[in-house]
Structure 1
Amino acid sequence: MKLCFFGSSLVSSYWNGAATYYRGLLKEIARLGYDITFYEPDAFERQAHRDIADPPWARVRVYPATSDGWQSALDKAARSADLLVKASGVGVFDAELEAAVIDVPSKALRLYWDVDAPATLDAIAARPDHHLRRAIPRYDLVLTYGGGDPVVTAYRGVGARDCVPIYNALDPQTHFPVTPVDKLGCDLGLLANRLPDREARIEQFFLDVAARMPERQFVLGGSGWESKGTPSNVRKVGHVGTGDHNAFFASGLATLNVNRDSMARYGFSPPTRVFEAAGGGACLITDAWVGIDSFLEPGQEVLVAASGDEVAEHLAALALDRARAIAERARKRILAHHTYRHRALQFSHLIEGISTKTEAAE
């Protein structure tokens, strides 16, 4: 089955938090026999910041970030695809692509794959004339990488035929324990790009904690923080490519996860960092969100904090032997239940079900 996928980028994680989700999931989907072509725009300097070569399990087609560029790419995809996927957050011509994917002549099933469903649904709710209100009912299926029942209910409320979360997960071949690196050593590390709907939470759960604990060392990785004022015990290391993720997770006593505002509100939206950090052998501290216990057991496999004060309390009480024990339990849980192999099988079963219904209807 030929799957043509329009997303932000497969080959670059630069300003592209969905990269490891795409890579882990599509690699495993390809192993199930799908023929994958990934279409991505030449935008936001991502091609200049590639962190992987074109993978052997997917063809990568980079198109110009222009009106002619995306239209030509879609025309080519539509002619060959059995499955035509438009992911949210491509970054350029999103609205145009989301409308065109369901109008372009093709034999393909059309899927909308939302990698930021809480934010998308908030935008739809705020605008009665939002273009997705017209588009979503025409897609054969909506997939999301999080959100649980609240997201499913909301998407069905705007006319989705069906909506199924396919959660982030771990690619064990990409994220695994390694030897710590001195330059990344710290008591608490955070790997997150600077985004408007997360910055205030990062101030509360990370920067304020650093200011209150001057005797501890903190490392902040991710793009956009260069101009941000931070306490003197916070070391900013800039963009961290996927090849350096394992060293980042291995080098701190603990790693912090901070959800974006909308994801925290909806719950059931574990970002990639949760699974990547666990896979890399990190002791994870996360801000509180509904559904965390569906993935990791609080207190045993993850430490949960409802405020910056609670982050500080966890960090103050965390000895190295306990941190290692929490990390090991988390890694075992993720490997047993939350790898991209598990998610790919879920995806394949969904597509088989839709294809069977379509054939029966014909």
Structure 2
Amino acid sequence: MKLVVLGLSLSSSWGNGHATTYRALLGAFAARGHDVLFLEREAPWYAEHRDLADPGFCRLEYYPDLAGLECWQDEIAAADAVIVGSYVPEGVSVGRFVQAHAGGLVAFYDIDTPVTLAKLVRQDFDYISPGIIPGYDLYLSFTGGPTLARIEREFGSPAARALFCSADADTYRPIDVPKRWDLSYLGTYSPDRQPALERLLIAPARHAPDLRFVVAGPQYPADIDWPDNVERIDHCPPADHAAFYSASRFTLNVTRADMIAAGWSPSVRLFEAAACGTPILSDAWAGLDELFEPGREIIIAETAEDVLQALGQDSAALGSAARARVLARHTAAHRAAELETYLA
């Protein structure tokens, strides 16, 4: 089939988790024989940090503004399906344009579902609004569980379906590198994730000066008091993710408040780290135990003491079990097959 995707970014992973999610999903979707066009809104902050100039698996094109989408009207009309992603600039107007001109199925792919629903409650409609949700034939949600029924019941979606993030098994795999850190964290700064990061990484670092920690990701405020044994990396591009995780004895997953409240909202980093065979410590949320078995495939940590106790354990079996779970259920190939089924 011919698929057109209008997403936040495919070209740049700087400051967002959308790019690696789209790359894995669409690469696997194209491998199933489909034709994909990705339309990305030009943005200077992504243009300065592009780490995928030519995807290879799809056409990547840019449009300067809403009026520039008119150049792609014929492609949108001829597509079997058109997907508009969350956080697309002027997403409500983009959605209206797509719904007006698409000749095939139209879908919304929400990689931020709990955040989106909280914004809708606040009447913050920068990329989606209650008025256009019923016009999407399909609402693909980063979040599963009870949230899907809520999207249909409260917002009038004809069909809400879970499409979790995934890991590209060819890219995310164990790499034979020396262990540099006892605990790592990879993620862009977020104010509502920071308290958990303070509790589950910074506090343990203060209590264990002999251990080594690292936080990789942009936009962290300059006034954060990092302990001496916490290394900072401003940006770790996707090409370096597998080596980053493989150099970590454990890695940390912390979750935004809206996503904890909704549950069933696994970060793409969760699957990527597990695919690398890296043992994961995570905060707790409903639905996590349906993805990874606590104690065997993942360790739930609520306090600094929990973290320090886990860091004293042998981690090899945990990482291997988590990798096996991802390879069995959560690769990009699995998600591409799910997407194909939903669209069909």
**TM range, normalised to the smaller chain?**
over 0.9
Separation in structure 1 between the aligned mates of residue 79 and residue 73 of structure 2, nearest angstrom: 10
- Equivalent of 1:165, from 162, 167, 189? 162
Q: Deviations over 1:30-65 (max 9, x none)?
A: 12222100011121421222222312220000122x
SS at match of 2:48: helix
Match of 2:20 in 1: 20
Separation in structure 2 between the aligned mates of residue 77 and residue 199 of structure 1, nearest angstrom: 42
TM-score, reference length from structure 2: 0.94
Following superposition, the deviation at residue 68 of structure 1 comes to: 2.5
Following superposition, the deviation at residue 73 of structure 1 comes to: 5.0
Q: Does 1:266 align with 2:262?
A: yes
Q: Deviations over 1:262-314 (max 9, x none)?
A: 11111111111111111112111111111112111111111111334322332
Match of 1:75 in 2: 73
When residues 31 and 287 of structure 1 are mapped into structure 2, their CA distance, relative to the original with a 3 A threshold, is same
Q: How does 1:251-262 map to 2 (within 5 A)?
A: 251-262=247-258
When residues 73 and 84 of structure 1 are mapped into structure 2, their CA distance, relative to the original with a 3 A threshold, is farther
- Equivalent of 1:333, from 296, 312, 325? 325
Q: Deviations over 1:157-198 (max 9, x none)?
A: 21111100111122111101112256xx11100001012332
Q: Does 1:343 align with 2:335?
A: yes
Q: Does 1:283 align with 2:271?
A: no
SS at match of 2:176: coil
Q: One-letter code of the match for 1:153?
A: A
Separation in structure 1 between the aligned mates of residue 242 and residue 25 of structure 2, nearest angstrom: 19
Give the alignment's Cα RMSD to 1 decimal. Answer: 1.8
Single out whichever of 301-310 and 131-140 deviates more from structure 2.
Answer: 301-310
Separation in structure 1 between the aligned mates of residue 221 and residue 175 of structure 2, nearest angstrom: 28
When residues 73 and 219 of structure 1 are mapped into structure 2, their CA distance, relative to the original with a 3 A threshold, is farther
Q: How does 1:216-235 map to 2 (within 5 A)?
A: 216-225=211-220, 227=222, 228-235=224-231
Q: One-letter code of the match for 2:286?
A: V
SS at match of 1:119: helix
Separation in structure 1 between the aligned mates of residue 109 and residue 74 of structure 2, nearest angstrom: 20
- Equivalent of 2:90, from 74, 88, 93? 93
Following superposition, the deviation at residue 76 of structure 1 comes to: 4.3
Contact 2:92–2:125 at 8 Å: present in 1 too?
no
TM-score, reference length from structure 1: 0.89
Q: How does 1:1-16 map to 2 (within 5 A)?
A: 1-16=1-16
Separation in structure 1 between the aligned mates of residue 290 and residue 193 of structure 2, nearest angstrom: 23
Q: How does 1:29-68 map to 2 (within 5 A)?
A: 29-64=29-64, 66-68=65-67
SS at match of 1:45: helix
Single out whichever of 334-343 and 77-86 deviates more from structure 2.
Answer: 77-86
Q: One-letter code of the match for 1:251?
A: A
Contact 1:201–1:261 at 8 Å: present in 2 too?
no
SS at match of 1:167: coil
Following superposition, the deviation at residue 224 of structure 1 comes to: 1.3
Match of 2:194 in 1: 199
SS at match of 2:286: coil
When residues 128 and 229 of structure 1 are mapped into structure 2, their CA distance, relative to the original with a 3 A threshold, is closer
Q: Does 1:215 align with 2:210?
A: yes
Match of 1:84 in 2: 82
Structure 2 residues not aligned, in runs of 5+: none
Contact 1:256–1:286 at 8 Å: present in 2 too?
yes
Contact 1:78–1:84 at 8 Å: present in 2 too?
yes
Separation in structure 2 between the aligned mates of residue 296 and residue 13 of structure 1, nearest angstrom: 26
Following superposition, the deviation at residue 22 of structure 1 comes to: 0.6
SS at match of 2:130: helix
Task: Report the identity percentage.
Answer: 33
When residues 11 and 128 of structure 1 are mapped into structure 2, their CA distance, relative to the original with a 3 A threshold, is closer
Q: Does 1:106 align with 2:105?
A: no
Q: Which has the higher helix share?
A: 1
Match of 2:119 in 1: 123
Separation in structure 1 between the aligned mates of residue 327 and residue 316 of structure 2, nearest angstrom: 16
Single out whichever of 75-84 and 188-197 deviates more from structure 2.
Answer: 75-84
Count of aligned residue pairs for this structure pair: 341
